[in-house]
Structure 1
C-alpha cells in the first residue's frame, strides 16, 4: 500500500488486514507509526474521507488543523482522588487517540476479535470507516487543580496557570451548570459524525471508574476557517462567520495570540493554549422575522458577500470611520464586528473553532439551536475576556442570543515522542 493510498482510503478493517490483525498492527499505531499521516497543523483540506492526522506534534491536533465539518465535544468530571488513576487515564487516552486518529480500532484486539466471553475493546460502529480527518484535543479544567470543595486532590494546585481564570458572570448569561465546567475535556473533530462520536464514546468507556461525562455537545457545519485553504462558512443566522480568524498559515500571529510562549508561566504549558467553550442559544424565530437591513446593521457586514458595510470585499479591513450620507458611520459603533474587532480598546485576536448545533425543539416548536463557540488563545485574560465584556455590554445581537453553557480549559502541549502522553509535562512520569 502506497502512502497516497494510506492517506486516501485506509479504513479500520483494511488497516488491520494490511498489518496482520495482531498486536504488531496495534503497536505500530500506538507508537505513532501512522503511514502517510499528515501533521496536525497541515494546511491541506480534510475533505477526503481517508485523510489522517498524526497524534504526535509540538502542539495538539484540532487547533490549527483545518476545521472539519463535525464535532463531538465532551467535558468530564473526575470521580477519583488518586493521582495514579488520572495519569493512567491520560496514558490510556493518549494511546487510544493515536489508534483512533489513524483509523484503527481501540485496543489490542479491537471490535471483532479477542476473548469471546469478554466485551470487545472497541464498540465497533466505526469499523469500515476511514479516519475522516479525525483530531482529538485534550484539556484540563480548573477542577483538576482544585475541586469545588477547595481540595487539591492530585497535588497540582500550585501548577494551575493564572491564565486559566474562572470566567465571570457576564450580563445576559443564563448558564445551565449542568452544561458548564468540567475537570477534563475532549474535543473530537472529523468529517464523519460517526467517527467523532465513536472516538468520544470509546474514550468515555476507557475512563469508566476514573472520570464520567458531565456534559457533551454535537456540532455540525464549522463556523470558522482555520486555514486559508478553506472558504468562510456561515452560522445559523445566515452570515459568514470567522472572516478575520487566525489561520494556520500565520505563524507569527499564532505565536503571539494562540500558543503559550517560553516566557509564559507555568513552564508545563509551553506550546499549549487555553480554550473557552460557550454554548450560545440563538432565538432563530425572532431573527428570521428581522429585516435584512437590521440584520446587516447588527452584524456590520453584508449578508451575501461578508464584506464590511464600509465597502470592499469579504477580507477588506473594516473602516469604522467611514461615514454614510447621514450623520452616522456606515458601520455602527456597537455592531458585532466593531465590538469584536482587535482594534477595539482592550481586544486581542483569538482563534475561533466553533460549530452550529440543533438539539431538537421546545414545547412551542422553537428550535433549540445556536453556536457552540470554541476559542483558543494564549491567555484568557487578554483574549476572550475583554472581547466578551465588550459584547455583553452593548452588542445589539444580545437581543437574539443567550449564553447558556460555559467552560474554560488549559490545553497542554502536544506529545512529541512515541510512548509520550498528554499531560506528561504537568504530572511528569507519574
Structure 2
C-alpha cells in the first residue's frame, strides 16, 4: 500500500480539510474522522465488482468498493481470507455509528491500496493511524464485506429492524459447536490475493473499533475451494476433491437476483440489495480420510478424484446423472436438482490451524454461503446433508454464524449500515 508523508490539505475525494494529527491524536475518545492523505501510484480499477473478470490476480488490481451490492460476494473469489466476528461493547449509538463511518472510510482506502488515515508515520508521541504491514503492497483485489448477526439487533433498540429471514440457525445432527467460534454481533470478511493485505485490513478495523467492538473469533483461510467463475476449473478442498462445480457465476445476473440478492418486499427496506451469509467452520478428519480407499472416497463425493467429473461423466462441468451415484453421495444429496432447485453461492476456503494436541491436523473447510433467505437456502439443505451424507463420517461442524449483509455503499457520502441505523433511505 502507498504511504504518504505529507498529507493533502483536503480530505478524501476533495472533502473538507482533515484535522491535523497534532490537533487530534489517535482514533479513540474524540472519534477522529479518518484523515486525508491521498497520494501515491495509480492502481488498476476493476469495475463492476460483480464481474467474473474482476482483475487478474497477477495485476494486484483494485476491486471497486462502491456499488449496489457489497464487493466480496459475487466478486471473483480471491486466494486468501481473513474473517472476523465482533461483539459490540458500547451502548453509545452515536459512537458506534461514528465507528462504522470510520470503518467505511478505512475500507474505502485500503481496498484502493492506500493507507488508513494519515498513514503509518506521523507524530512520534502517538500511535500511527495505519499499522504499516501492507506498505508497498498492491491492493491485491482486496474486498471487505460487513454483516450483522441476530444478536446485534438486541443493541440500540433495533429489534423491530431484524429481518424475519435472519433466523438463529437450528442445531443440526452431528454439530459439535465451539461457543468460542460461534455467533457474533457483526462480521467483516476480508478477501485478497495477498494474505498480508487481508490480515492488515482486519487488524486496522479492529484497532479503529477498540473500545466499541472486540473480536469474538476469527479465521484465516487459504486455497479457495469455490469459484464464482465456473468456466474455470473448480479448486480442490483438502480432501483433494472438487466440489460446488455448479456454483453461481459473478456474471449470472439472473441467478444472482433469484438466489442471492434480497429483493424489494423480501423484508425490511434496509436489506434490499443485500444478502444473507452463513459461515461454518468444518473440521475435516484428515488422518481417517487419508487411510480411505480411492473408490470409497469417490463414492462419498459422487465424483472421480482426477477430473472432478460426476459418476459416469467425462468432465467436471458435465451435468450429473444423480441416480448413477450412491444414495448417500454428497453430490447427489446437495445438487439443486435433488432439492427443488435450492441454490446458494459458495465462497469457501481451506484452513490449517496447527494440531489438536494428539498429533491430528486441525484442518478443514471454512464454508461461506450467500443466499436470498437462509430459510429457503442453507437450512433445508444442511438438514438433508446432516441426516444422510456419507461425508459426515469424515467431517464435523465446529463453528457457526449467520449474518444479514446489507447492500453496498453507494458513494463517498454513504457508509456501512446507514440504511439500518438511520431513518434516511
Q: Establish whether TM, by shorter chain, passes 0.5.
A: yes
For 1:385 and 1:394, how far apart are their aligned partners in 2?
A: 15
Cα separation, 1, equivalents of 2:11 and 2:43: 12
Q: Is there any run of 5+ residues in structure 1 with no aligned partner, and where?
A: 1-10, 147-152, 322-329
How much does 1:241 deviate? 2.3
1:74 aligned residue? 84
Q: Deviations over 1:37-95 (max 9, x none)?
A: 21321322441252111210000000011100000000000001222122111111111
The corresponding residue for 1:41 is: 50
1:64 pairs with 2:74: yes
Q: 2:384 aligns with which of 379, 390, 394?
A: 390
Q: Which residue of structure 2 aligns with residue 415 of structure 1?
A: 409
What are the residue-to-residue correspondences of 1:250-265 with 2, within 5 Å? 250-265=252-267
CA distance in 2, matches of 1:219, 1:275: 17
Give CA deviations for 1:344-381 in whole Å, capped at 9, x if unaligned. Answer: 23551000001000000122211000000000000000
Counterpart check, 1:92 vs 2:82: no
- Per-residue CA deviation, residues 303-360 of structure 1 (Å, 9 max, x unaligned), is 1111110323111111123xxxxxxxx3112210011111123551000001000000
How big is the shift at 1:228? 3.9
SS of the aligned residue for 2:396 comes to strand
Which residue pairs with 1:373 in the alignment? 367
Query: Which shifted more, 41-50 or 219-228?
Result: 41-50
> SS of the residue aligned with 2:238?
coil
Structure 2 CA distance for partners of 1:303 and 1:200, relative to 1, 3 Å: same
Classify the secondary structure of the residue corresponding to 1:60: coil
* Contact preservation (8 Å) 1:46, 1:68: no
Instruction: Please give the secondary structure, in 1, of the residue aligned with 2:278.
Output: strand
Asked if structure 2 preserves the Cα contact closer than 8 Å seen for 1:347 and 1:386, the reply is no
Q: Aligned residue for 2:147? A: 139
Aligned twin of 2:27: none
Question: Any conservation in 1 of the 2:52–2:251 contact (CA below 8 Å)?
Answer: yes
For 1:225, what is the secondary structure of its paired residue? coil
Q: CA deviation at 1:266?
A: 1.0
Tell me how far apart the structure 1 counterparts of residues 301 and 397 of structure 2 sit (CA, whole Å).
18
Alignment of 1:31-430 (within 5 A): 36-39=44-47, 40-44=49-53, 45-107=55-117, 109-112=118-121, 114-146=122-154, 153-228=155-230, 230-321=232-323, 330-346=324-340, 348-428=342-422
Contact 1:276/1:374, CA 8 A, preserved across alignment: yes
The answer on whether the counterparts of 1:43 and 1:228 sit within 8 Å (CA) in structure 2 is: no
Structure 1 equivalent of residue 23 of structure 2 = none
TM superposition outliers: structure 1 runs of 4+ over 4 Å: 23-36
Structure-2 change in CA distance of 1:399 and 1:342 (3 Å): same
State the match for 2:2 in structure 1.
Answer: 12
Matches of 2:60 and 2:381, distance apart in 1: 38
Q: Could you report, residue by residue, the CA deviation over 1:95-126 in whole angstroms, capped at 9, with x for unpaired residues? A: 1000000011101x1102x2221110010011
> How many residue pairs get matched?
400
- 2:44–2:61 contact (8 Å) kept in structure 1: no
TM-score (normalised: structure 1): 0.89
CA distance in 2, matches of 1:141, 1:362: 29
Give, in whole Å, the separation in 2 of the partners of 1:229 and 1:343. Answer: 20
User: What is the RMSD of the two structures over their aligned residues, measured on CA atoms?
Assistant: 2.0
| Alpha-carbon spacing, 1:358–1:136, altered in 2? closer, same or farther (3 Å) | same
User: CA–CA distance in 1 between the matches of 2:341 and 2:167?
Assistant: 17
Q: Give the match's secondary structure for 2:416.
A: coil
The alpha carbon displacement at 1:230 in A equals 3.9
Unaligned runs of 5+ in 2: 16-33
Deviation for aligned residue 1:140 = 0.3
Determine whether 1:22 maps to 2:21: no
